[in-house]
Each structure stands twice: as structure tokens, then as C-alpha cells.
Structure 1
Amino acid sequence: MKKIKNILLVIVSMVLVLSLVSCKKKDSDKINPPKNPTGTIDDSDKTEKDKAAIMKDFDNVLKTNDLSKVIGFIDDNIKGLSQIEGDKMVLDLEVALEEFLNPTMDSIFKADPNGELINIAESDLFFPKEKIKDIESETLKNEVTKLMENKYKLINLEGSFYPIIDYENLKQYNNYVSDEIKEYIEIKAIDSNSPVVIDAGLLISYDDLASRILKVENYIQRYSQGQKHEEVLRLYRSKLALYLGGADNTPIFVNDTKKIKDDVLESYKKTLNTKDSVTAHIVNKYVNLIEKNDFIINTVVQDEVVSLVNEALSILEVSK
């Protein structure tokens, strides 16, 4: 179970966890979230006093530790608030969803001792909502229904279904939050809809992984002083390390020859041509190292991955 929980945490951080001075963007190109966002959504009928009262009530609802009540309160009140309050509500909801992840998992396991979910969905990566009606156990059916209403979904890991946050579902609040949080949810939704790694194996192509890395880098550059900067920076670290080093069950080299795989090298070459990108700079250095090593991936190459990733992070921090 400890192994499975660790896998779950990796996916969640990734579902269920950047440029040289020469390529640094002009300061005017950065978009840092304003200290006092002026954009609001239909807040003409609510005074600042009204908003303060709503947010105080929201804090009290959070203390109930009842996800259904928290989500219901947000749904009933977020429309008339500014983006400042909208951001807080959605980010606080995310924290609550993370905190209740393990208790939710325990409830599902307790309600499904005989593996009914896997018998119904079989090899599906996610448990289909339309198959809830096929669950015979009323207790389990109620748990799965509540889980999905509370913005989780179930993912198939090693023959059992585990809950993860359904970030796609959080997009319903896009009209009421800042661009920074909207784009953050989009990044997280991409991974929750299509996990990068499961069971130490890469589930997407290297080109797709590169695309996600560049999207994350762009976010970091645009919101260098943003609320989710540190978390997205960690996400960038893990994705870049995976892109350069490969996964245990998806190495970047051919096992018998240790030569880099053609599709991986081609992906690297595409990525290094990306303009104004710290990732491109790092990948270019990595490809030069691989070429000097006759395209063989051994400790000479692999030992450089950590330092290259750290270099990318250092450049990103300097460019804030």
C-alpha cells in the first residue's frame, strides 16, 4: 500500500507534483499578477462589506471539513465576487481536495473490498461516470457518486482505482478567477486528464512531454511573482528531469546498445530550436554532451541530468 500511495502522490503532483541573459525575455513581456486585480465578474450588486462577509463565511465553511459544503458554498457565491476572492476560493478548494485525498481513498477501498470497480471498468484508465449505474453495492455507488460530485475522479493503478483531483472539473470557475489561476488549472488539468507517468513508465510521447514542459516554463516566466510559482517550479523540475533522464520502464536509450532512441533525439532537436526558452538552452547542452559521447547514454551522460535541471531552475530564478 505504501508503494501505491507513493505512486499516487507522484501522479497527483504531476495528475495524483528558465533563461540565459541572452535568451531572457524583456521585462515588459512578463505578466506578473497585479497586487490589486481590477477585473471582476458581476460584482456590481455586492459591496466590499458584502464580500468580506462572504469570505468570512467561506472560512467558516472550510473549517467544517465537509467538501460538499465547501463546493456548494463556492458555487452559490463565487459569481458575485472579484477575481481576488475567486482565486482564494479555488485555491483553498484545491488545498481541501489535497487534504481529503487519502481519506477519500480509504473510503473507496473500504466500500470496494472485492474489486467491483475494476471488474466493471476493467482496463479503462479512468472509471467512467456512465458506469456508476452498473455498481451493485449501494454503499460503493454512493461513495463513487459523492467522490465525483466533490471534484475527484478514479484512476486505474496496478489493478485498483484510486481518487485523484479532477482539475478539468475546476475549469467551471474559469470566469471568476484571474488568468494566472486559470492557466494554472489548465496545466494541472492536462496532467490529470492524461498522466505523464504510471508505474515508472512514460504514458505520453517525448514530443508531448516537451510541449508540456514548455507550457510550464512559459507560465513560470509570465507569473514569476505568482501565487503558484513555487509549485509550478517543482512541476517543471520533475518534468524536465523525466524528459532528460527517462523513466525506469521507459529509458531514453535502446537497452542492448545503450544508444539514444531515435524518437527521443528527434524530440530533443525540435525542442532546442524553441526561441527564448531556458528549456531549449538546457536541451541543447544535453544534446551536445550526447553527441560527444557517440550517442551512448551511460553514466557520463546520466550524471549530468541533475546539474542541468538545477541550472535551468537557477536561470529561471534569476530571470524573475
Structure 2
Amino acid sequence: MIQMKKSKLIAALVVSTTLVLSACGDNSETKKNDSNTVQENNPPAQNDNPGNSPNNGTGGEESKSAQDQLVAEFDALLQEGNKLPKAFDFIEKHADSLNPERVSHLLLSVEDAQIAALGSLADRFYEGNTQEQITKIFEIGDSLDELIGKATDEKLKALLTETKNSGYQLDPTEGMFNPDPDYRVAAAYAAKATGDVTNYMQLKAKESAERSLRDAALVIGWDELLTRALAAEDFTKQYPDSKRIKEIESMLTNYTTTIFYGANNTPLFSYDNKQMDPDAQKAYESALKEAVSGAGPLLDDLKAFMDAAAKNKYKLTEILWTQPQRTNTSSRKSLEQLRGELVPLNYE
């Protein structure tokens, strides 16, 4: 059974680093990581300059040639073995000496290295009785530091320590333990990067601090889900040429799908009576009340959907209603049909 889960979970891990809701999440690593945690109430930093222009940071203290030399040293370091702990130490030591573009290069390069190393690191968590050892000492909410402190087996302690120092957290999924990039580590330096990388790292760090989904259930509020989706949508408008635009577009797609459909274990409409989740209804209506007309496609689509839902007493039935004017047609469709048009489900 473990072997079957192993292959499935490891494959999902690699995908989850670039798809937000394709993995389940919790806040097991947040309890004692206050120094790395991005404040949930703070929106991603905004850049007053267009495109990917640098923030006003403290970088650039070294000459251009000296900065180029530091970047070359970092790139060479990433070719070494056991590179990730060294890479994060390098960033800690030199981030203040580099301008925003070079800091961005360091942060995105270390992210690439984490993703590339994820599969082999995950394999080590399935060697011998490692999973069983972790299960015996793990308690819900435990941070990696706490697990390291509890571990009595030196080999396990060394693995957990390496995982932490390499910028990962431990993700318990369906009773199995796997490493996952902890974006709060890189986000600690994000303010020194360009605007798009600052925003990108902060968006990803929110998911590291508290994932949107776990075990096919929504584990954040519907209001927070909508907030994250709108932040992702804003990123796509503000930084269309960012090197991480595809990752954010994927996050936005997954957020949007969850907004309109919910999750398997947290459906937007009850499986029994087809009634909309009252908390979702309240969150969506509150957001739309505050929204400015034409704020963006997501809120426009949500308004059309909620207006139709209100006419149907927030029940997902086959009752027909007049299609909104914005579709330029007078046909009559069900709420389910409208949802499918606004947010098609793609299973390819």
C-alpha cells in the first residue's frame, strides 16, 4: 500500500510546486516559524514602477562587476552537491549587496533548484521505516524544528534537519509525509527583489503558511480564497511579462475553479439539497458589495453567477433563467449551465 501511495504522492509533489490547489494544505509548519511567515493580512507588495522595474531596496552596494561575480559564484554553487543549504546561506549573506534584479535571479534560481531536487529528497522519506518513525512522533501542528527535537534516530534527525535547511517544510498528505518547498524562507528576502518576484514569493508564501486545500477539502475561508484569487488576478494584469506568469496563471485557474465549484469534500453546493454553502454565499455577497464595477473578469463573472443564483434562491437546480445581457443572447439556461460557461472544467 505504501509503495502505491509513494509513486502517486511523489508525482503530485512536483506538480504542486507550480499548481496551487493541486495539493492539499495545512499550517503544520507555521506554528514556530514566525520569522518566516508572511502576514496574512498584508497584501502583496505593490510596485509603483511598471513591468518588472526594481523596488527601492538596499541592493546595489557592490559595484556592478562585484555583483556579477557574486551571481557567478551563486550559480556555480547550485551545481554542487548538498547545494540548497549553502544557497540559502549565500542569499542571507549577500542579498543586501545585490540590486533587485540580481536578488530576483537568486530567488528564482534557488526555487528551480528546490523543484529539481524534490523528487530525490522525497524518495528518501520512503526508505526503510522512515514514514513509520515520523508517524510515531508527529502531532498535528508540529513544525520541522519540533520533529527534529523529538527524533531520537540520528539518521532521521539528519534527514529532517537537511530538509529544513534546504528550504522545505514537511507536508502530511493522506497520512504520508513528504517534503515541500516552504516559500516563506525565500519570501524573507523578497522585498529586496523586483516587484514581480516580490509579489510572486508572497503569493506562494501564503500557500506555504496555509494551503487552500487539504485532502480534497477547503481549509481556508471562502473569503480568503477569493482574496487570494483576486491577488493572483492582479498579478497577471500588473506583471504580464514576469518569468513566473504561467505559475500565477495556474494558481488563478485553480482558485477560480474552487470559488465556483468548491472542492470534493467542500462543495459550493450541497450534494444533498443542492443549496449554496451559506458561508460562501455570505463571503461572495460581501465582496461584491465592496467591488467596483469592471474591477476584473473574476468579480464580473462572480456577480453574474451570484445574480443568477439569487433568482434561483441559491439552489443548484435545472430551473431556467434569462441569461445576463453581457452574453449578448436571450437564451435561457440553468445555473449549472451558466457556471459551466463561466468556468469550464477541463479534465485533460
Question: TM range, normalised to the smaller chain?
Answer: 0.7 to 0.9
The aligned counterpart of 1:25 is none
Change beyond 3 A, Cα 1:296–1:38: closer
The aligned counterpart of 1:130 is 146
Does residue 159 in structure 1 map to residue 175 in structure 2?
A: yes
How far apart in 1 are the matches of 2:105 and 2:138?
36
Q: 1:74 aligns with which of 82, 87, 91?
A: 91
How far apart in 2 are the matches of 1:141 and 1:57?
30
Q: 1:277 aligns with which of 290, 296, 302?
A: 296
Measure how far apart 1:271 and its partner are.
2.5
The aligned counterpart of 1:91 is 108
Superposition map of 1:40-79 within 5 A: 41-44=58-61, 46-64=62-80, 66-79=83-96
The aligned counterpart of 1:5 is 10
Q: What is the TM-score with the length of structure 1 in the denominator?
A: 0.82
Measure how far apart 1:294 and its partner are.
4.5
My pick for the range that moved more, 104-113 or 252-261, is 104-113
How far apart in 2 are the matches of 1:111 and 1:191?
30
Q: Is the 8 A contact 2:52 2:242 kept in 1?
A: no
- SS of alignment partner, residue 180 of structure 1: helix
Q: Is the 8 A contact 2:88 2:166 kept in 1?
A: yes
Q: Is the 8 A contact 1:166 1:192 kept in 2?
A: yes
The aligned counterpart of 1:237 is 253
For 2:252, the aligned partner's letter is Y
Change beyond 3 A, Cα 1:292–1:267: same
For 1:14, the aligned partner's letter is V
Q: Is the 8 A contact 2:170 2:178 kept in 1?
A: yes
The aligned counterpart of 2:28 is none
Q: Is the 8 A contact 1:40 1:83 kept in 2?
A: yes
Note the alpha carbon deviations across 1:198-249, whole angstroms, 9 max, x for none. 1111111111211211222222232233332222111111101111011111
Superposition map of 1:260-275 within 5 A: 260-273=276-289, 274-275=291-292
How far apart in 2 are the matches of 1:231 and 1:302?
28
Does residue 209 in structure 1 map to residue 225 in structure 2?
A: yes
Q: 2:123 aligns with which of 91, 101, 106?
A: 106
- SS of alignment partner, residue 172 of structure 2: strand
Q: Is the 8 A contact 1:43 1:81 kept in 2?
A: yes
For 1:290, the aligned partner's letter is A
**Higher relative contact order at CA 8 Å, sep ≥6: structure 1 or structure 2?**
1
Q: What is the TM-score with the length of structure 2 in the denominator?
A: 0.76
Measure how far apart 1:112 and its partner are.
4.2
In structure 2, the gaps of 5 or more residues are 25-46, 319-333
My pick for the range that moved more, 149-158 or 129-138, is 129-138
Measure how far apart 1:174 and its partner are.
2.9
- SS of alignment partner, residue 164 of structure 1: strand
Higher helix share: 1
After superposing on structure 2, the runs of 4+ consecutive aligned residues of structure 1 that deviate more than 4 Å are none
In structure 1, the gaps of 5 or more residues are 18-28, 311-320
Measure how far apart 1:175 and its partner are.
4.2
The aligned counterpart of 2:200 is 184
Q: 1:301 aligns with which of 301, 315, 335?
A: 335
- SS of alignment partner, residue 188 of structure 2: helix
Q: 2:310 aligns with which of 258, 269, 291?
A: 291
My pick for the range that moved more, 78-87 or 60-69, is 60-69
Aligned length: 296
My pick for the range that moved more, 179-188 or 60-69, is 60-69
Q: Is the 8 A contact 1:272 1:279 kept in 2?
A: no
The aligned counterpart of 1:21 is none
Change beyond 3 A, Cα 1:31–1:224: farther
Percent identity at matched positions?
22
